[in-house]
Structure 1
Amino acid sequence: MPEPTALPDDASLKVYAVTDPERLYSLATEPPRVAGSLSAPEIMSLAELLARQRSQAATDWAVRLGEYAARRTGAPGAVQLMAHVVRELVRRPSSATLPPYFELPPKADDPDTEFRACLLQEMALRWGLDREPYTAYQAGLRELGHPLAWLPLASFYFESAMRERAWWRGSTLGSLKSDELHARYPEIPPTAAGALAGRGARRAPDDRRTEAAMDPLAELASSAVEFFTMPEPLDPADFNSALLTAIGSRCLAGLTPDTLAAAHTTADDLAGDLCVAAFSGGVWGDGRPGAYVRLSTWRALYALMDLDPSVPHTRAVRAAAEYRWLRLALARRSGNDFFFGDLSDMAFAVLDPTRTRVAIIAASDTD
């Protein structure tokens, strides 16, 4: 057996990425060839070097590294490595160097199918894929019953906040204090009628919707989704902080109209925060592959709007415009036990088109 050798220096690795990409693949997948096992950051660095090259050879070996990670499901860092390769591949300016990887139909017993399914959906979000061979591969995934096959191959403008906040900038979920909310969003003042309506609301538990809506927030330290029904249609002007602090919400307990600010926003704003939460995994979580972040975010939106999964995504986007969406923020001294007020807080409220059903979704994280 040959003696282990040291990992080449950075300059040499960059040369190999151009002249001998297979060697980088070997270094990442056969750690006995170097002095000790590579750390996760070292393997990620090799993956980046491969994926960022524009040559077909380097791209091929980057794809093989992603497939290698997919085949090692359950191994430490395998999911993160696969996701990292995909993310680096879709950072390139166009999809021109990626289509050959979808020429063969997906197979249920082929571990490479998982990598390609993730790559397909992140490419779809990045560029939109409405032609062969992408549509054929998506159809094959649908026949296999793969969960990612439910997602659209369109790249919606609606998803721009998701792309901006997570994939392309690697952002983390950030707290938004009430003074910041006032500066960025159109605030809704509290009303006495809102407080009265809130006291008349009734809790409407729904385990199915709760599970789906909370999924993007699963790895944060604290998260909640609550559903309420109103005894009569609500005046939109009364959908405000006075209503939300009187409605009996557990996650908003202890707050008053003076310590909770509410402002108009839209569904894509919430989608962006859900995406960041699932993508980052919070302070202690590892996050998920981007395709599953997209899946989790869409499922959460469908649950909050109580839409059946059979509703096309284009119709869901149109339907979202019929709901009223509030972004909430806490004053620095809130008297609330749910939010840590430390690293990351988020809270939104949703009023359905009948103006009789309210959903609240909130999360907080800390170290």
Structure 2
Amino acid sequence: MPESTTATTTATTLPNDASLRVYAVTDPERLYDLAVEPARGAPTWYAPEVLKLVEFLTAGHSQAATDCAVRLGEHAARLGEAPGAAALMAHVAHELVRRPSSAALRPHFEGPPVADDPTTEFRASLLHEMALRWGLRDEPYVTFQAGLRELGHPLSWLPLASFYFENAMRERSWMRGAMLSSLRPEELYAAYPAIPPTTAGAEAGRAARRVSDGRRTEAAVAPLAELGRYAAEFFTLPVALDPVDFNSGLLTALGSTCLAGFTPETLATAHTTADDVAGDLFVPAFDGGMWGDGRPRAYSRLVTWRAMYALMDLDLSVELGDAVRAAAEHRWLRLAPGRSDFFFGDLSDVAFAVLDPTRTRVAVVAATDTD
């Protein structure tokens, strides 16, 4: 059957769930044919009846069912700008990687990626969703990744390793519909080590100088771009800061736009770790907040890591393993800001600050969302 780039409005009645479950085992081609049927009845390829077919098809772990599911993802890739095609392609990859084993997916990486072939995009995204899920070390994955690098594919910047550092990203990537949640001060201090303000911190903040850097700002806020409001700001200090003075006293004296209106007493501040920051950056990148659509898991991982590099002011030539080690040398704060001129104070208010190893550079990233 030729592939259609549009969907019609003529309804197609699917078999009942019991029949679909049987087809997934005995005749996965039938599920594939139903999914690509031009008269399946929806104006978008990302339609409930197609998603149901994806669910049953990807639940079949046989090689035949896996092959049909991959073909469906490739079909979606070929549809280009057709309504819902990109979302369907991402959904197929997402569901394939939810399974417990990658064994049946391996044959789909035995051929090299091909420039200008839309199915290369599907396989690249699937490869790096698999990399986050399992970590990949064997052929043919390494060869396929090398081919992506030769093509200059953006995902080839990511490694096939899956770092323990990425556990928060990995866990949250299974929860479509999850959102950032605002913390009240008492919740923050119940979960994270509190850090009180100091007079020396406030004095250091008043001496700080704002640094404009469009490249770093763009990268730092990219995971937050579908939220209601977001910002990243960078500052330098004239002398090295005593780590004990990296606190709300310093942050509220910086002249930060997103922290305007807070005092050392009203800005709740606690110690955290870099992987916690990465996890919270990943959530809006993947799910898009209240109104956004989010990105595929692989691209959410990409923009999250590039945001972490921007916050640490690392060059993209630095290997991710070295970036993980560098993150441990920085100091990270989680803030519970509450309502202000910047923060909506509604559903999702999140802010972090980071101090570099020289203790002379501070970065702040913040976001807020509402319904």
Letter of the 2:301 partner, please give it: R
Letter in 1 for 2:300: V
Question: Within 5 Å, which residues of 2 pair with 1:59-208?
Answer: 59-167=66-174, 171-208=178-215
User: Is residue 342 of structure 1 aligned with residue 349 of structure 2?
Assistant: no
Give the conservation status (yes or no) of the 8 Å contact 2:14–2:49.
no
Q: Report whether the alignment pairs 1:53 with 2:60.
A: yes
- Give the Cα separation in 1 of the matches to 2:221 and 2:109: 33
Q: Structure 1: which amino acid aligns with 2:351?
A: A
1:365 corresponding residue in structure 2? 369
Which of 266, 271, 277 does residue 270 from structure 1 map onto? 277
Match of 1:337, SS state, is coil
| Alpha-carbon RMSD | 1.5
Residues 23-71 of structure 1, C-alpha deviations (whole Å, 9 max, x = no match): 2222221231x45657622211211111111111111111111111112
Q: Percent of pairs identical after alignment?
A: 71
Q: Is 2:176–2:287's contact at 8 Å kept on the other side of the alignment?
A: no
Instruction: Give the 3 Å change call, closer, same or farther, for CA 16–306 of structure 1 in structure 2.
Output: same
What residue identity is the alignment partner of 1:320? A
CA distance in 2, matches of 1:53, 1:284: 32
Q: Offset at 1:238?
A: 0.6
TM-score w.r.t. the length of structure 1 is: 0.95
2:218 is matched with 211
Paired with 2:317 and 2:177, the residues of 1 have a C-alpha distance of 31
C-alpha distance in 2 between matches for 1:251 and 1:283:
20
Number of equivalent positions: 361
Query: Does residue 1:353 correspond to 2:360, yes or no?
Result: no
The 5 Å alignment of 1:301-340 reads: 301-331=308-338, 334=339, 336-340=340-344
Q: Does the 8 Å contact 1:346/1:364 carry over to 2? A: yes
Contact 1:251 1:362 in 2 (8 A): yes
Question: Structure 1: how far apart are the matches of 2:364 and 2:209?
Answer: 13
Q: Extract unaligned runs of 5+ from structure 2.
A: 1-9
Alpha-carbon separation, structure 1, partners of 2:336 and 2:298: 29
Give structure 1 stretches of 5+ with no counterpart.
none
User: Which letter maps to 1:192?
Assistant: T
Other-structure match for 1:22: 29
The 1:238–1:146 alpha-carbon spacing in structure 2 relative to 1, beyond 3 Å, is same
- How far residue 204 of structure 1 moved from its aligned partner, in angstroms, is 0.3
- TM norm structure 2: 0.94
- The answer to whether the 8 Å contact 1:7/1:35 transfers is no
- Distance 1:70-1:164 versus aligned 2 partners, 3 A rule: same
8 Å contact from structure 1 (residues 82, 289) kept in 2:
no
Summarize the Cα distance change of 1:35–1:134 in structure 2 as closer, same or farther, 3 Å threshold: closer
SS at match of 1:284: coil
Deviates more, 1:146-155 or 1:12-21: 12-21
In 2: Cα distance, 1:319 partner to 1:244 partner: 22
Does 2:283 match 1:281?
no
Mapped partners of 2:254, 2:43: distance in 1 = 55
CA distance in 2, matches of 1:156, 1:4: 46
More moved, 22-31 vs 152-161: 22-31
Residues 162-206 of structure 1: CA deviation (Å, up to 9, x unaligned): 011233575221111211100000011011111111111111010
Q: Is 161-170 or 142-151 further displaced after alignment?
A: 161-170
Measure the CA separation in 1 of the matches of 2:201 and 2:334. 16
Q: Are the structure 2 counterparts of residues 42 and 35 from structure 1 closer, same or farther at C-alpha, using a change threshold of 3 Å?
A: closer
